[in-house]
Amino acid sequence: MPVPDAFVARSLDEIRFWSRIMKEHSLFLKLGFRCEDTQLIQEANYFYGVFEQIEQQAHAYPVNVDPQTIRAFNVQVQSAASHIWAFKRKVLGLILHCQLPGGNNFPLLVDHTSREANYFRNRLAELNEGRLDPLPDAIINENVFFLRIMADHAKFISHLLDPSERQLVDQARGFSYDFDQLLFQARDLESMRPQSHTVPLLDQFLDQNRVSVQSLRDFKRTARDLIEACRIKSIIHPLLADHTFREAERFLEIIDAFEGHLSLVQGASKEPREDEEQEGQGIQGVPGLQDHHH
């Protein structure tokens, strides 16, 4: 059994996860268009096919595939992600210019899915270029990105539940508030860089975020199960409920991975020296776990 190349494993993991996400975005956008928007519906169908094919291809590669093959695959997928990003931004423009009156895609949802496409594209570019963020930067950047994604999800859920589901709507609004607060905290930590790059602060930051993401994840799972069993009133597609659940799971995996690397760092040097920051040597990034986006 050959040892899988870290670059290959990382690339395929990103592509397997995000290509399914992009495929599902195409479906959600399509469902939100009006029946007369046949051109947009066709474009959405086109992207569904593109990402379905990419997803299948990503699952078909053996672990010992040549890294050069994956490097080329990443370029191809990156281009597809750029194209769906442009499509989503075009749709956002049409909605904001009131060109699709009566459509059912919220502008924030379209913007949100375009941010995810942009994230996906950047991840692949970083993997191919071997650009590694130092661990503290990766921790802050990744959390700023995902906390906003989680806050958006809570907002979408509260708006797509039937207004008569008062308790669930209140719960979703509560999550929206909590995640907005966590996002502000993350941005505060971001603006305090590099002085905020201390192990205790980053560790506490991850702990706090994990607790909230776990409870949002559980809420999404419950909502998904209730929707699938037709026990609650909403206009949430069961696949959308599952989709947001999977994105929360992804965020939790990333938090846990960071936590693991942070404890390794902590074990290695009990007391990080202040001067290490200036040298850019502080808590160094761990190859294979770099995460960066704009």
**Which positions from 64 to 103 touch Fe ion by CB under 5 A, shown as an x/- string?**
----------------------------------------
CB of 218 to Fe ion, least distance (A): 17
Of 153 and 292, the one with the shorter C-beta distance to Fe ion is 153
Q: Do the Cβ atoms of 127 and 14 come closer than 8 Å?
A: yes
User: Number of residues in contact with Fe ion, rule: CB under 5 A?
Assistant: 3
Query: Which residues inside 171-190 make contact with Fe ion, applying CB under 5 A?
Result: none
Of 10 and 88, the one with the shorter C-beta distance to Fe ion is 88
Of 21 and 151, the one with the shorter C-beta distance to Fe ion is 21
CB of 3 to Fe ion, least distance (A): 32
Q: Where do we find the tokens 């589901």?
A: 165
> What CA dihedral angle connects 180, 181, 184 and 189, to 10 degrees?
-140
> What distance in Å separates the CA atoms of residue 157 and residue 171, rounded to the nearest whole number?
10
Of 33 and 146, the one with the shorter C-beta distance to Fe ion is 146
Interior CA angle at 124 toward 84 and 261, to 5°?
Answer: 130
Query: Which residues inside 96-135 make contact with Fe ion, applying CB under 5 A?
Result: 116
CB of 198 to Fe ion, least distance (A): 31
CB of 61 to Fe ion, least distance (A): 24
> What distance in Å separates the CA atoms of residue 33 and residue 154, rounded to the nearest whole number?
22
CB of 68 to Fe ion, least distance (A): 30
**Which positions from 221 to 260 touch Fe ion by CB under 5 A, shown as an x/- string?**
--------------------------x-------------
* Sequence-ordered list of residues with C-beta below 8 angstroms from that of 287, at least 6 positions apart, any chain: 6, 132
Alpha helices, DSSP H, located in the chain:
6-32, 38-60, 67-96, 107-129, 135-160, 166-191, 199-228, 238-268, 275-278
CB of 274 to Fe ion, least distance (A): 38
- Segment contacting Fe ion by CB under 5 A, of 13-21, 98-106, 179-187, 273-281: 13-21
Of 27 and 41, the one with the shorter C-beta distance to Fe ion is 27
**Nearest Cα residue to 158 out of 148, 168, 149:** 168
> What distance in Å separates the CA atoms of residue 176 and residue 45, rounded to the nearest whole number?
31
**Nearest Cα residue to 135 out of 237, 78, 206, 218:** 206
CB of 113 to Fe ion, least distance (A): 6
What is the identity of the amino acid at 280?
G
Of 137 and 152, the one with the shorter C-beta distance to Fe ion is 152
Of 173 and 250, the one with the shorter C-beta distance to Fe ion is 250
Determine whether 125 is exposed, middle or buried from the number of CB atoms within 10 Å of its CB (0-12, 13-18, 19+): middle
CB of 236 to Fe ion, least distance (A): 13
Interface contacts to Fe ion, rule CB under 5 A: 21, 116, 247
